[in-house]
């Protein structure tokens, strides 16, 4: 098996699973309990918060543990909207956000908020000038994805953050789920107010995540109850998951530059051997994230191509895994000006540090074989 769907989810590190099992078995107390077992769990929770904060170069007070990217994005977006709606009800995002950002904005539109959706160019980049021109006196939130989950295009987050310094009423949220460990981002230098991470995207466990909330930012909580996580998120903390997430983040960021150089070389192998094929078009920009490659296979339905590769032991995906079972084509590719037919025939190949050069070369061979086989099937049907 060659797994090339790492943007959908990554294989957890063995050490991460071991940590989860150890904490679940020996330190299963509720961290809010007053007895010794609860105290042990609370200390593990505090230590993990400090570790994550140190790794991200922020304060432990700015770390909120969540269940993943979807919850983190909803907490940030709806939390700001409801907390600051008396200041204004204008909010800004882009046309190529992950559904866990796009759908909350659609909901907020239904609830009376005025949303501006920024367009992108043919590479998938927004215009910072368009964003600046879209800002109004009543703008309370700007949400921009760092690394697009389908094409790997990298938005100029630091430039946006510096521009927004002049508009203190507008809170800046970044979906950094696909960027962590692959594309460096200094939260403080980029003037980011809120930022989302998801554990299972960096070899942690599903159901774990982080919301970075800059000190001073207030959010209307989505969940009411015991007021855990500094009142941001009620509910008994997932201590084993949090410990596992902290370990996964540490292991991911260790020697990250070396790991990413290896991934870049693998991406070059894929691009070099696929780019001269006339039956396909590479949709990802050359200067995009190192681990994501989006390709349109002309005349071949993406779903059929995914299964053809699966038969050869190669695992890729169509659009975002969260949207792959929907029949509609990629909204990201459509926003980039791709034809509907081409957007409907695109697949995503996503690498990790676990991918080897042999994997990449075998994948290219399998892809080219599948193209030839499916071309024959198309001819027969005609």
Residue 376 has pLDDT above 70, yes or no: no
pLDDT tens digit string along 82-137?
999 999 999 999 999 999 999 999 999 999 999 999 999 999 999 999 999 999 99
Where exactly does CATH 3.90.1150.10 map onto the chain?
2-9+255-381
Residue 35 has pLDDT above 90, yes or no: yes
CATH of 2-9+255-381 among 3.90.1150.10, 3.40.50.620, 3.40.50.2000, 3.40.50.1980: 3.90.1150.10
Q: If you average pLDDT over every residue of the chain, what do you get?
A: 93
Question: Is the pTM above the cut of 0.85?
Answer: yes
Query: What is the largest distance, in Å, between two alpha-carbon atoms of the chain?
Result: 73
The residue assigned the tokens 């890729």 is 316
**DSSP sequence for 338-360:** --HHHHTTEEEEE--TT--HHHH
Q: Could you tell me which of 178, 203, 208 has the C-alpha nearest to residue 65?
A: 208
What letters, b where the CB count within 10 A reaches 16 and e where it falls short, cover 69-80? bbbbbbbbbbbb
322 flagged as catalytic: yes
Distance CA 43, CA 30 (A): 11
Level-2 CATH architecture, domain 14-253: 3-Layer(aba) Sandwich (3.40)
Percent over 90 (pLDDT), the chain? 85
Work out the pLDDT band at 288, boundaries 50, 70, 90. very high
Q: How far is CA 105 from CA 70, 111, 163, 371, in A?
A: 13, 10, 22, 39
CA of residue 277 relative to chain centroid, distance: 30
Q: Would you state the structure tokens that stand for residue 375, as one six-digit string? A: 């071309």
pLDDT of residue 345: 94
Percent over 70 (pLDDT), the chain? 96
Where exactly does CATH 3.40.640.10 map onto the chain?
14-253
User: Which residue among the candidates 128, 322, 334, 368 is catalytic per the annotation?
Assistant: 322
Antiparallel, parallel or unpaired: β 346-350 and 292-297: antiparallel
pLDDT tens digit string along 145-200?
999 999 999 999 999 999 999 999 999 999 999 999 999 999 999 999 999 999 99
* DSSP-assigned beta bridge partners for residue 116: 92
Q: Which helix (H) or strand (E) holds 44?
A: helix 36-56
Work out the pLDDT band at 327, boundaries 50, 70, 90. low
Cβ contact 323:270 at 8 Å: no
């Amino acid at each position: 098996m060659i797994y090339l769907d790492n943007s959908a989810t990554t294989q957890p590190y063995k050490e991460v699973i071991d940590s989860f099992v150890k904490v679940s078995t020996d330190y299963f107390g509720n961290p809010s309990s007053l007895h010794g077992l609860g105290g042990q769990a609370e200390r593990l929770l505090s230590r993990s918060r400090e570790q994550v904060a140190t790794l991200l170069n922020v304060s432990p007070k700015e770390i909120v543990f969540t269940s993943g990217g979807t919850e983190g994005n909803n907490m940030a977006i709806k939390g700001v909207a409801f907390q600051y709606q008396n200041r204004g009800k204008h909010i800004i995002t882009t046309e190529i956000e992950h559904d866990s950002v796009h759908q909350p904005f659609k909901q907020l539109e239904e609830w009376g908020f005025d949303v501006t959706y920024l367009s992108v160019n043919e590479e998938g980049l927004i215009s910072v000038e368009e964003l600046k021109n879209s800002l109004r006196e009543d703008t309370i939130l700007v949400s921009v994805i760092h690394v697009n989950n389908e094409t790997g295009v990298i938005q100029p987050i630091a430039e946006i953050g510096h521009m927004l310094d002049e508009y203190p009423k507008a809170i800046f949220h970044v979906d950094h789920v696909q960027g962590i460990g692959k594309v460096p981002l200094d939260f403080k230098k980029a003037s980011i107010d809120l930022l989302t991470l998801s554990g299972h995207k960096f070899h942690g466990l599903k159901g774990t995540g982080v919301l970075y909330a800059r000190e001073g930012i207030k959010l209307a909580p989505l969940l009411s109850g015991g007021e855990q996580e500094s009142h941001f998120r009620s509910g008994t903390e997932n201590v084993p998951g949090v410990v596992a997430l902290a370990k996964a983040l540490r292991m991911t960021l260790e020697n990250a530059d070396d790991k990413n150089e290896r991934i870049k070389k693998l991406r070059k192998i894929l691009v070099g051997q696929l780019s001269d094929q006339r039956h396909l078009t590479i949709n990802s920009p050359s200067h995009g994230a190192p681990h994501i490659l989006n390709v349109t296979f002309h005349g071949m339905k993406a779903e059929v191509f995914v299964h053809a590769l699966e038969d050869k032991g190669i695992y890729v995906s169509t659009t975002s895994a969260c949207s792959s079972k929907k029949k509609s084509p990629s909204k990201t590719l459509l926003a980039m000006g791709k034809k509907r037919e081409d957007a409907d025939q695109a697949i995503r190949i996503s690498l990790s540090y676990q991918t080897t050069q042999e994997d990449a070369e075998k994948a290219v061979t399998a892809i080219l074989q599948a193209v030839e086989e499916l071309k024959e099937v198309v001819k027969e049907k005609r």
